[in-house]
Amino acid sequence: MVFVALASLLLGLTLACFVVLVPLCIGLDRVRSLLADRGQFRRRLRAIAPYVGGLALVLLLNKGLLVRIEAFSRRYGVTAAEWIYRIEGDFVATVQALLPDWGLYYFGPAYVLGYVVLLTFPFVAYLFAASSRPLKTLVAAYTVNYAVAIVCYATVIAYGPRNYHRIPGADPDAARVEEPLLDSFREVTQLTARVNVETNVFPSLHAALSVTVLLVAVSTHEEFPRWTPVAAALTASILVSTMYLGTHWATDVVAGVALAVGSVAVAGRIVDRFDGGASATGAAGGGAEAVGATDGQSADGGSDEPSAW
């Protein structure tokens, strides 16, 4: 019951954010133009369907094997928390000490609501892009992030800094890292426990996926100039929140950033490969994939020239 209430609240707040972001970052004229052309909209959905299918498969695999992955990592994984502490020491505790207590009321929502908005809004925004490439790249990068994370979580067992003092062999002189979100709103675990376990901290997927969104936002800045600073602000807030809330080490965050950079690069190669193959097939077949596309439009409904929408 608590989960349903929290999920409903999160959904409602996310939709409220969308109500603000759609006219601000996409523009109502752009939205009306595409929705008026149902054929164009359907072609865009068909173009991204294989990418969304790949992401759904990886997410289902992650969810279905969550308990088994944790069990495997506990039995065979490399214990990382101790060497992570040797690398960065009390950095996270210092971050918590430097930020005020009331920061919880900013970084807590940023970690939960801001993260959901940051990851989901681009799905809507890039439906209205001039081509389907940004959305394909984003979805492919999400898939690569999750796929690599699954492997890391299976092979590396690492507790976050808030749990470090509970680990056998932990440095007794280590500064205590607090867990302000859980201390104040323990119910939030009803949401987080559905998608994660406490040993899945290296790398930080909050960091990886947030930076992924930012990198794609930067690449689409010319088309969506107002979304870039919003994505940057949310990403920065989320990166800090992962440490302020005691969830991740700075090492996890750095690893997440590196994973994001690599994932976006790989995603670009994937899109190039599949789009190139589709174009060649369409050309060989007399342009069969371009049925329904007008002059200046690509087979997937994206325009090769700046579009009015």
> What is the reported pTM?
0.85
Residue with tokens 């502490």: 85
Query: What tens digit of pLDDT does each residue of 113-146 get?
Result: 999 999 999 999 999 998 899 999 999 999 999 9
Tokens representing 188 are: 């939030």
Query: Can you give the pLDDT at residue 125?
Result: 94
Query: Can you give the pLDDT at residue 184?
Result: 81
Picking from 166, 178, 146, 160, the residue whose alpha carbon sits closest to that of residue 250 is: 160
CA-to-CA separations, 233 to 58, 144, 280, in angstroms, rounded: 28, 24, 40
Tokens representing 207 are: 């960091």
205-219 vs 133-155: helix axis angle to the nearest 10?
160
Query: Can you give the pLDDT at residue 194?
Result: 60
Cα 57 versus chain centre, distance: 16
Whether 286 shows a pLDDT value over 60: the answer reads no
Query: Can you give the pLDDT at residue 303?
Result: 40
The DSSP code for 78 is E
303 φ, ψ (degrees, to nearest 5): -95, 140
Query: What tens digit of pLDDT does each residue of 231-278 get?
Result: 999 999 999 999 999 999 999 999 999 999 999 999 999 999 988 755
Query: What tens digit of pLDDT does each residue of 152-203 get?
Result: 888 888 888 998 888 888 888 889 999 888 888 877 766 665 666 667 789 9
% of the chain residues with pLDDT over 70: 86
pLDDT range class, residue 33, cuts 50, 70, 90: confident
Three-state SS string over 104-162 comes to HHHHHHHHHHHHHHHHHHHHHHHHHCCCCHHHHHHHHHHHHHHHHHHHHHHHEECCCHH
279 in Cβ contact with 131 (< 8 Å): no
